[in-house]
Chain A
Amino acid sequence: NAGVMQNPRHLVRRRGQEARLRCSPMKGHSHVYWYRQLPEEGLKFMVYLQKENIIDESGMPKERFSAEFPKEGPSILRIQQVVRGDSAAYFCASSPPSGVSNQPQHFGDGTRLSIL
């Protein structure tokens, strides 16, 4: 049973470019979460999505960042016009639908984003 799949594992971008990070949840999971881990820090929640819906985006920066989870295909975290401060590890997690109790979030291996 495949786990949460994130790609790419490493992404290098120059300032001003766009970064697209992909996340395929575990089979049977319909909830996706994105977290950001800055160097020497813990993970910070960014956004929580269900299929075609953004449920909670309270952790998303107001500009340049967007997320989607379409009906078909992976969830995408998009960062436009990247800056040096966007360098971080971005983790995706997934969980089963509501009503399936006592199921924690399962994490992918992350995408390490480096901005030159």
Chain B
Amino acid sequence: AQSVTQPDIHITVSEGASLELRCNYSYGATPYLFWYVQSPGQGLQLLLKYFSGDTLVQGIKGFEAEFKRSQSSFNLRKPSVHWSDAAEYFCAVGNYGGATNKLIFGTGTLLAVQP
């Protein structure tokens, strides 16, 4: 069955520190992978996506993610976290462009940033 696992429910980092949020997926075909961010009371904003090609993907707000097929992972990274990055982060996988374009989301990682 298709699934996405985000093993870390909460993460706290200090401002200026580096960040890595983990995401593992289970998917039968070549996956389309996404990271979204959600601020409290808001919708989801797309940070970055992987469809094909270079496995290191650059996104908005200084985020990047690396697709590792051998590990079924798509971890999100940022070299230096800002206080405004505090939010909930969701990894998602989809059969984008197939018969159904639905996304399967992980349960999210809530990021807190200490001053």
Which residue numbers of A lie inside 8 Å of B, CB to CB? Answer: 4, 6, 31, 33, 35, 41-45, 48, 55-56, 58-59, 91, 93, 95, 98, 101-102, 104-110, 112
Contact = CB atoms under 8 A, between A and B. Distances in A.
B96 A104 contact: yes
Q: Which of B4, B101, B105 has the most CB of A within 10 A?
A: B101
Contacts, number: 63
B100 interface: yes
A93 B36 CA distance: 13
Interface of B: 4, 34, 36, 41-46, 49, 51, 90, 92, 96-97, 99-108
A43 B105 contact: yes
B102 A42 contact: no
Given A98-B97, A104-B34, A45 B44 contact: no
